Amino acid sequence: MSSCEDVCANCGKKDGTGVKLKKCTSCHLVKYCSVNCQKAHRKQHKKACKKRAAELEDEELYGHAAELGSADALFSLGYSYKHGEGVQADKEKSAEFHKRAAMQGYVDSRCNLGMYEADRGNLDRAVRHWMISAKMGHWNSIGVIRDSFMRGFATKEQYAEALRGYQDSIEEMKSHDRDEAKRMGL
């Protein structure tokens, strides 16, 4: 059936004809008139649903997200799960906490997500994370992108863009007051 907003993706019943359609909670692409129609259509819809759900997650992950808790605490939890400090080591949980911290702009978590993706073989996603963290002024990300470029995982353009972004970030952080305080030893 159609993925039209006003009809059930399985049976074609129209919204407002005594039927209240509900969106697929994962992808938001299609609507269903009942749980039975959703179950019946699942096999047809599964591939497109997973793809769109991943796109929605990426939009949230690579864009800006709402408050999800303390970024410092989320980073610390991600670190603890990665290294098994005080908890059972769990790379998936670690990545989830780092995702939440990265969505709030926590640069170290963004870089760690790059490492997580690289370990899983998702080099394009890894480089995207490192590009973002480099542009946020994270020096280690520059080194990782340089190494990725040397190994052929990142392009010369990406490396140059990361360097420019890093430099721009550092320039933005400079201020007369900060320089004066540093000179005075504060």
Q: What is the pLDDT of residue 4?
A: 46
Choices 1.10.240.10, 3.30.420.240, 1.25.40.10, 3.40.30.10: CATH for 71-183: 1.25.40.10
Check residues 142 and 52 and name the one with the higher pLDDT: 142
Helices 71-83 & 91-103, crossing angle to 10 degrees?
Answer: 160
C-alpha–C-alpha distance, residues 93 and 76, integer Å: 12
C-alpha–C-alpha distance, residues 151 and 117, integer Å: 16
DSSP codes, 131-177: HHHHHTT-HHHHHHHHHHHHTTSS-HHHHHHHHHHHHHHHHHH--HH
Residue 25, Cβ neighbours under 10 Å: how many? 9
Q: What is the pLDDT of residue 151?
A: 95
Tally of helices (H runs) and strands (E runs) in the chain: 8, 2
Check residues 124 and 67 and name the one with the higher pLDDT: 124
Q: What is the pLDDT of residue 66?
A: 42
Residue pLDDT, tens place only, 88-113: 999 999 999 999 999 989 999 999 99
- pLDDT interval class at 68 (50, 70, 90): low
Cα dihedral: 36, 39, 42, 43 (round 10): -110
All CATH 1.25.40.10 domain ranges of the chain, comma separated, are: 71-183
Instruction: Read off the pLDDT of each residue in 145-160 and give the average, rounded to a whole number.
Output: 96
Q: DSSP assignment, residue 14?
A: B
Residue pLDDT, tens place only, 2-58: 444 689 999 988 887 788 888 898 888 899 998 999 999 999 999 999 988 888 887
Q: What is the pLDDT of residue 150?
A: 96
Instruction: Read off the pLDDT of each residue in 114-135 and give the average, rounded to a whole number.
Output: 96
- pLDDT interval class at 115 (50, 70, 90): very high
Q: What is the pLDDT of residue 53?
A: 86
* This prediction's pTM: 0.64
User: What angle (nearest 5°) sits at the alpha carbon of residue 72, between those of residues 138 and 131?
Assistant: 25
Q: DSSP assignment, residue 53?
A: H
- Name residues whose C-beta falls within 8 Å of residue 109's C-beta, 6 or more positions apart in sequence: 71, 74, 75, 78, 97, 98, 99, 101, 102
